[in-house]
A and B are shown apart, each in its own frame.
Chain A
């Protein structure tokens, strides 16, 4: 589905990463593979170091910490927030919505829209789409989009296919009305037939967690995980991304009467180094236009990786310069979504360490 938005823009991005850093080598002995084999994969996949929360830290903690930082620095006023969106797959509770917990703890005004969205790797683009839609309302002038995940808590420590790449974090993006901004083009697609490709089988109402769902089982490749853990059919996810994203971006650029050469940066979701490199090759996009350094520095934090890659690679430049940016998120659902937008003169764009 094609989308188009006018008179809106991103005015600030803050990415929050936990201070707790784990190195790939620290966990290498957890895996049922030779050290040499794992070290080869480290290089190819970009496994290096990742940020994960300590036990007890929740997505609301990460979001509240970042929001309080913005309030304290006078980069955001509580009274100006007309809508709060939280995109996460690791909420504090099944009920109430975690966005409401955050709204309450931050003592935000009652006269606002507040919602959770259950989305993963495409969650940044989906969240921005929702923010743009809300800004169509006369009384909504400023939306705070929160993306946050602590999925490291749901990955088996003995699963070499998933554990080394998973990171935690949150991102706060401010989206506002701006009559002078250029049009934003978007595209979104979904294929629920692939719902089992990326899944945590147990823990919901379909299969409640139990002692049985916590039992580790060995897969064909020698990884150990339980039904309570995140499971991914890596081949299927990889192929889906390589098959669907390039034509989606071609279509998006056509709709916007633009082309790859005009795009300054392709800020894509960061699943692992190999997948993104192959995507750049297939799209014939130079590597320098598609930064690919979040997994190796922070880990794959699902919907947080796009704001993370923007904050990490453009940061201060976005306070002064203007870039045409193409974003794409893809993964669980299956869901894939993209945006083409001008980013310029942000009030803030940085990475904050949660302590």
Chain B
């Protein structure tokens, strides 16, 4: 799951190394429109619809938070 997340993040913002940051938002690596793109990629990949109320920057600040968000929305590890 982590590898797929990193792959999607890198597709959206290829200029950044997402394996080497603990806060994508704080470090200016993702903005709200990047998050929208990521949500669509994750929805399609895992066959889910991430709950709209969970689409908050804090839930996308690092890979672990994104994994937890996916699990909350029904993806099994």
Complex Cα distance, B51 from A160, in Å, reads 25
Q: Would you call B57 and A235 a contact (CB within 8 A)?
A: yes
A115 interfacial contact with B, CB 8 Å: no
B71 interfacial contact with A, CB 8 Å: no
B31: A residues at CB distance < 8 A: 220-221
B1 interfacial contact with A, CB 8 Å: no
Complex Cα distance, B32 from A160, in Å, reads 12
Chain B nearest CB: distance from A334 CB in Å? Answer: 15
Chain B nearest CB: distance from A122 CB in Å? Answer: 18
What total of A-B pairs shows CB separation below 8 Å?
Answer: 50
Chain A nearest CB: distance from B9 CB in Å? Answer: 14
Contact size range, B = 10 to 19
Residue from B32, B33, B52 in contact with A278 in the complex, judged by beta carbons closer than 8 Å = B52
| Count of interface residues, chain A, beta-carbon cutoff 8 Å | 22
Complex Cα distance, B50 from A138, in Å, reads 50
Interface residue stretch chosen among A63-71, A202-210, A239-247, A288-296: A239-247
Chain B nearest CB: distance from A286 CB in Å? Answer: 13
Q: Would you call B56 and A239 a contact (CB within 8 A)?
A: yes
A133 interfacial contact with B, CB 8 Å: no
Residue from A44, A221, A279 in contact with B32 in the complex, judged by beta carbons closer than 8 Å = A221
Chain A nearest CB: distance from B48 CB in Å? Answer: 9
Chain B nearest CB: distance from A276 CB in Å? Answer: 10
B51: A residues at CB distance < 8 A: 242, 282
- Give the top 8 A-B pairs by smallest Cβ distance, nearest first: A242-B52, A281-B49, A278-B52, A221-B31, A242-B53, A234-B32, A235-B32, A243-B53
Q: List 23 A-B contacts (CB under 8 A).
A: A41-B33, A41-B36, A44-B36, A161-B32, A161-B33, A220-B31, A221-B33, A234-B32, A235-B57, A238-B32, A238-B55, A239-B52, A242-B51, A242-B52, A242-B53, A243-B52, A274-B36, A274-B40, A278-B55, A279-B52, A281-B49, A282-B49, A282-B53
Residues of B within 8 A of A (CB): 12, 28, 31-33, 36-37, 40, 49, 51-53, 55-57
